[in-house]
Chain A
Amino acid sequence: MKIIIATAVATVLGATVAMAGATKPQDVAFEDGAVAVSVSGTAGDAAVGREVFANRRLGNCLACHVNSDMPELSFHGEVGPPLDGAADRWSEAELRGLVANSKQTFEDTIMPGFYIDTGYFRPLDDFAGIPILNAQQVEDVVAYLLTLKE
């Protein structure tokens, strides 16, 4: 129980802090596809990141990637490579870059940029001018990806 409350508080705090120190999508600095510093200004929470990863309205990463760490969920997509061992293949900065805007790493990829708010056409009104994930969610997903080791 205590742990759960602690996590929840941390999440709320994280979100608040994120607002203050977050880097706007257009200000994110990419270097060879990688992003060195946290876009939210705080560390990510891997447990929350795991939720964001699976959630169809947020990351929905499972739509395109097999992830053996989530056997409890059915229907893992196969459009992209399995993410097992992703942390063995990529550094934290590279993973942050891949989540924020994978086109900086794989030009022409089908994988959406999760932290961009311009450069896409005809977005539905509810999604116009905002990124798919907010800064803290990006960091949470990155923290989660860093746990995917083989």
Chain B
Amino acid sequence: MGMYLLKTTAFAAGLALMAGSVAQADEGATLVINEELTIATTAKAPAHLENIDEITSGWIYRTKETQALQMDDFDNPAFVFVDIALDLWNEVDGTEGKSCASCHTDGPEEFAGLTATMPRIDKDGNLETLTEVVNRERVEKMGAKPWKYSKTNMASMTALIGLQSRGMPVNVAIDGAAAPFWERGKELYYTRVGQLDISCSNCHEDNYGVMIRADHLSQGQINGFPTYRLKNAKMNTTHGRFKGCMKNIRAVPYKEGGEEFKAIELYLASRGNGLTVETPSVRN
């Protein structure tokens, strides 16, 4: 398995060396947002997971300071982008002279629960992500140009829609027509890539909870996406994050919006079945 979970000895040694550094995550902290919404940051692993008993949100591995930013919407920088999305929601665009609001008259609240089930199989049997749904709406219903997969307007809109599911359990379907896509995602998750020859699982399954240089490894869950990162001060999409992880191991990333990343997204979402949607989350 290549596991070397030095959770006791090395962790203590590491802490000794890093005293006073940013490494002080509070893995036992409870996430309560706006003093009213309690988020389950740990859950029993879904049955399909063979090597993990408990699934955990990436939030618990972050420093106290980063954790705090997600506990109040006034402090959470992602809400700047949620506001941008509300403006876009009302903005007329395209040949039909319509905005999202023209048809979705009850507001984005209509989409409560949607993100918790994405990605999903569309009516033609293809795997579709929320990003693709938004672009389909823009193109087909508004006669507008599609947005780029990971651009700020798109990431903001999917954050606004995701927020409507905040507090709900992740519950993506992996059976039936979704099964082949899920299998593909699983295969990619366990495949080593890049000059460093490392798989997603090597870091996020075999070694979560330990430090990899200055970073505290999480399970690589996506229940908080899109996520605001302090590192680049913007909303980051799942595919953007996958890309970053692949580049770090010197691998050519798959295409954003491409079959591979969509399959990985489905597989990762399913590894979080039972966790709570945290969108929009804050990470370092």
Contact = CB atoms under 8 A, between A and B. Distances in A.
A and B form one complex: yes
Contacts of B14: 66, 76-78
Interface stretch (B122-130, B161-169, B187-195, B218-226): B187-195
Interface size class, chain A: 35 or more
B231 interface: no
Interface string B227-257: 0000000000000000000110011100000
A75 B214 contact: yes
A107 B206 CA distance: 14
Interface in B1-33: 1-2, 4, 6, 9-11, 13-14, 17-18, 21, 23
Nearest to A64: B212
Contacts of B197: 112-113, 116, 119-120
A147 B210 CA distance: 27
B212 A132 contact: no
A31 B2 CA distance: 21
Listed residue (A66, A107, A121) with the most chain B CB atoms within 10 angstroms of its CB? A66
Given A112-B198, A124-B247, A132-B195, A74 B210 contact: no
Listed residue (A63, A76, A78, A125) with the most chain B CB atoms within 10 angstroms of its CB? A78
Interface string A117-132: 0011111111110101
A62 interface: yes
Given A110-B203, A123-B250, A132 B196 contact: yes
A126 B17 CA distance: 34
Contacts, number: 112
B69 interface: no
A75 B213 contact: yes
Given A74-B21, A108-B2, A124 B250 contact: yes
A81 interface: yes
A21 interface: no
A110 B250 contact: no
A120 B194 contact: yes
A123 B10 contact: no
Given A82-B10, A110-B202, A122-B251, A77 B193 contact: no
Contacts of A110: 2, 4, 198, 202-203, 206-207
Contacts of A74: 17-18, 21, 214
A66 B55 CA distance: 27
Contacts of A128: 195
A62 B252 contact: no
A76 B17 contact: yes
Contacts of A107: 2
Contacts of B217: 79
Contacts of A106: 2
B6 A78 contact: yes
Contacts of B251: 121-124
A108 B1 contact: yes
A16 interface: no
Given A66-B10, A110-B203, A110-B207, A75 B195 contact: no
Given A78-B10, A122-B193, A124-B250, A62 B213 contact: yes
B211 interface: yes
15 contacts: A75-B214, A76-B17, A79-B4, A109-B2, A112-B195, A112-B196, A116-B197, A122-B193, A122-B246, A122-B251, A123-B195, A123-B250, A124-B252, A125-B252, A128-B195
